[in-house]
Structure 1
Amino acid sequence: MTQPDQAPLFSPYALGELQLGNRVVMASMTRGRASNAALAPTELHVEYYRQRAAAGLIFTEGTWISQRAVGFINAPGLFTERQVEGWRAVTSAVHVEGGKIFAQLAHSGAVSHPDFFNGALPVAPSAVNPGLKAFTPGGFKDTVTPRAMSLEEIASTVADYGAAAKNAREAGFDGVELHAATTYLLPEFLNSALNTRDDAYGGTAENRTRIVLEVIDALIAVWGPGRVGIKISPTLAMGGFGPTDETIETYDCLVGRLNELPVSHLQVGRALNDLSGTPVAALQDTIGYYRARFNGTLIANFGFDGASANLAVASDQADLVSFAKPFIGNPDLVRRLREGLPLAESFQETYYQGGPQGYVDYPAAP
């Protein structure tokens, strides 16, 4: 019988040139603690990430690439020198503890709100309201109909991703992950209901993936091979817009192109709901579907516990497994999983805002 500390989940892994101590990954989680006008990481962030550095790899919370990318209150950015300095303190603390950390680069797109832009509309692929809620300085508010991006704005946004990637290098990160999951700008481009463009960035699977691949190219130009990854969640609904008849073709096109690029990994959010009768029923086993189609390192995300994560690695369904909520209340999650210790509960009311409480005050197991 395999002992917990000998289980595949806790074995080392070579992510390109990076040597990870185990295959437990800390997934990105927006926590809303950059409560300063500069949207810069603080000593709270340093302690939060330091406490969790035993993970084989940490992904930061979604981090804004520019002021125009902002879409959630008190989430940090990577577009000013002060933000770079704040993140440099974070990466240094993680490295002192022996950990590895990637910055996840994000643009909120249509799920932002005019409150972030002095009344100006947020930008998106097309002028389609996703029908979601934006967490603004004035609380949760309904999203509005955004303004469709011009070709010049698309090019400028790609350049913003490249600039943020350079800032991530200056801040001491080990790599970057492109946020192309959940409801943000890039998944909006990939969704044919939210992207109704008839130019080079819409209308076909190849066109819908164009901006994502342009951004990946811009990130690799900064970081080189093996230091740029991407996260996707093709089965996730976006407000009133679920996956469409074009979803599988679009993501197949994207993943096929990723196989041609020197990316570090593909992180996939799996489906936990019944997809029968939907356009993406073939993605019910989301991880297995993309395992068969992606040639590189696959990170499985969403809804795993220690047993299911270990089974995913042991059965070669995934190379690494990322955990989100369990890391909130369990800074020592790796040890708890390895030793079979019970997991502590976390407090949902402190997930997205607050100070030290519910952020850096969860104790390690005795």
Structure 2
Amino acid sequence: MPSIFDPIRLGAIEAPNRILMAPLTRARNTRDHVATPIMIEYYRQRASAGLIVSEATGISLQGLGWPYAAGIWNETQIEAWRPIVAAVKEAGGRIISQLWHMGRAVHPSMPGRGQPVSASATTQPGEDHTYEGKRPFVEARPLHLDEIPLLLDDYRRAARNALAAGFDGVQIHAANGYLLDQFLRDSTNFRTDRYGGSIENRIRLLGEVTSAVAEVVGNNRTSVRLSPNGDRRGVNDSNPRPLFEAAAAMLSDIGIAFLDVREPGYDGTFGKADKPPIAPYMRGAFEGPFVLNTDYDFAKAQTALAQGAADAIGFGRLFISNPDLPHRFANDLPLAPDDMATWYTQGEQGYIDYPSAKS
């Protein structure tokens, strides 16, 4: 029976345990999306994870709309990431960069942005976080066919920059209602060209992006994150099982290092999955290491591994306030609660001041 403490090979990466740190947006970068010195200590503290997936990191100015979020499209950003990655490695850890394009979730009031782009002309519900406070989302314009090669170049450049910063690989963020998810699911993709309509067409951009990134870093250092079940930022699908089975099979054919699936529990309540679990069908279609994430504690994680539902588990919130989470799991130590009020603030409080356990 596999244990969460067993090592695992994730493509080219040898992880010492199966406790992955999930990507966590913490808003500690500058307004120009450059990493700051306190991030060195934050990531170093969490180096005992089998693998750290960095906070979502913008591939371009066009694709990044979250205040104080990370970017990796220019040399200044690369240089700021280098000591962070080095600190993780010096502490014995492994870290990959999550590449992010937010699509229609980018507000035009953010400096240098224009009208957001998406699969189709749609508007995310609700309000956006901007440097000027919360603002209603605006309608996106469809990404033009002649812009897609430029988008692929943005992903290639970001992947190349991640290697230059020292990352062990990358993860393509294709989940949670952002650009690639907007192309995948039929509530936001009304296209009539080769990127819309059929499942084959709607997974096409994901395949092209993944192949482009894999050309740069290698398929064994490329992973993808998907969120197949439930509404995410107004993005959903009327028949997700065949869609995400097909996406998983395509990614398996490309030979990515691992597939990371964020799927909340299914009980009919708000914020949960609105259909029975889809991950088991994706697991059947994907031949490589399979990672699950959302709402796991130690017991649920160990059960998922024992039942063969996953090969590793990603933990998000628990890593915020428990930088030594694997140690606490291994020694059955209490878990510290996190302070939601400090999730997205710009200071050290609630970021690098959570202590490690004393025993």
* TM-score interval, normalised by the smaller of the two chains: over 0.9
In 1, distance between residues paired with 2:245 and 2:211? Answer: 18
Q: Tell me the CA shift for residue 118 of structure 1.
A: 4.8
What does residue 310 of structure 2 align with?
Answer: 318
2:6 to 4, 11, 14: 11
What does residue 257 of structure 1 align with?
Answer: 250
In 1, distance between residues paired with 2:220 and 2:35? Answer: 26
* Cα deviation 1:86-127 (Å, max 9, x = unaligned): 111111000001111010000010111111255721111111
* Cα deviation 1:291-334 (Å, max 9, x = unaligned): 22211100010000011111112222111100000000010111
In 2, distance between residues paired with 1:225 and 1:184? Answer: 22
Query: What SS class does the counterpart of residue 224 from structure 2 fall into?
Result: strand
Cα pair 1:302 1:322 within 8 Å, conserved = yes
1:87 to 81, 87, 96: 81
Cα pair 1:65 1:79 within 8 Å, conserved = yes
What does residue 350 of structure 2 align with?
Answer: 358
Counterpart amino acid of residue 20 in structure 1:
A
What does residue 200 of structure 1 align with?
Answer: 194
What does residue 38 of structure 1 align with?
Answer: 32
2:16 to 17, 21, 25: 21
Q: TM-score, normalised by structure 2?
A: 0.95
Query: What SS class does the counterpart of residue 115 from structure 1 fall into?
Result: coil
Counterpart amino acid of residue 76 in structure 1:
A
* Cα deviation 1:134-161 (Å, max 9, x = unaligned): 2111122221111111112222111100
In 2, distance between residues paired with 1:231 and 1:74? Answer: 22
Cα gap change, 1:119 to 1:163, in 2 (>3 Å):
closer
2:267 counterpart of 1:270: no
* Cα deviation 1:247-298 (Å, max 9, x = unaligned): 222222211111211200000112313369xxx87x6233323222211100
In 1, distance between residues paired with 2:105 and 2:159? Answer: 23
Q: Which runs of 5+ in 2 are unaligned?
A: none
The range that moved more, 84-93 or 234-243, is 234-243
Cα pair 1:38 1:82 within 8 Å, conserved = no
2:148 to 144, 154, 166: 154
The range that moved more, 341-350 or 283-292, is 283-292
Cα pair 1:122 1:147 within 8 Å, conserved = yes
Cα pair 2:186 2:236 within 8 Å, conserved = no
Q: Tell me the CA shift for residue 236 of structure 1.
A: 2.8
What does residue 123 of structure 1 align with?
Answer: 117
Q: Tell me the CA shift for residue 42 of structure 1.
A: 1.4
Q: Tell me the CA shift for residue 33 of structure 1.
A: 0.5
Identity of aligned residues (%): 38
Query: What SS class does the counterpart of residue 295 from structure 1 fall into?
Result: coil
RMSD: 1.7
What does residue 297 of structure 1 align with?
Answer: 289
The range that moved more, 62-71 or 146-155, is 146-155
In 2, distance between residues paired with 1:328 and 1:286? Answer: 28
2:338 counterpart of 1:346: yes
Cα pair 2:12 2:257 within 8 Å, conserved = no
Counterpart amino acid of residue 33 in structure 1:
R
The range that moved more, 132-141 or 174-183, is 132-141
Query: What SS class does the counterpart of residue 55 from structure 1 fall into?
Result: coil
What does residue 328 of structure 2 align with?
Answer: 336
Residues 67-106 of structure 1: pairs in structure 2 closer than 5 A: 67-106=61-100
Residues 182-197 of structure 1: pairs in structure 2 closer than 5 A: 182-197=176-191
What does residue 236 of structure 1 align with?
Answer: 230
Cα gap change, 1:96 to 1:123, in 2 (>3 Å):
same
Cα pair 2:181 2:235 within 8 Å, conserved = no
Counterpart amino acid of residue 258 in structure 1:
L
Query: What SS class does the counterpart of residue 69 from structure 1 fall into?
Result: coil
Query: What SS class does the counterpart of residue 257 from structure 1 fall into?
Result: helix
In 1, distance between residues paired with 2:114 and 2:221? Answer: 35
What does residue 241 of structure 2 align with?
Answer: 248
Counterpart amino acid of residue 266 in structure 2:
N
Cα pair 2:32 2:68 within 8 Å, conserved = no
In 1, distance between residues paired with 2:318 and 2:204? Answer: 35
Q: Tell me the CA shift for residue 16 of structure 1.
A: 2.4
The range that moved more, 13-22 or 158-167, is 13-22
Cα gap change, 1:340 to 1:128, in 2 (>3 Å):
same
Q: TM-score, normalised by structure 1?
A: 0.93
In 1, distance between residues paired with 2:342 and 2:141? Answer: 33
Cα pair 1:130 1:194 within 8 Å, conserved = no
Residues 44-63 of structure 1: pairs in structure 2 closer than 5 A: 44-63=38-57
Q: Tell me the CA shift for residue 362 of structure 1.
A: 0.4
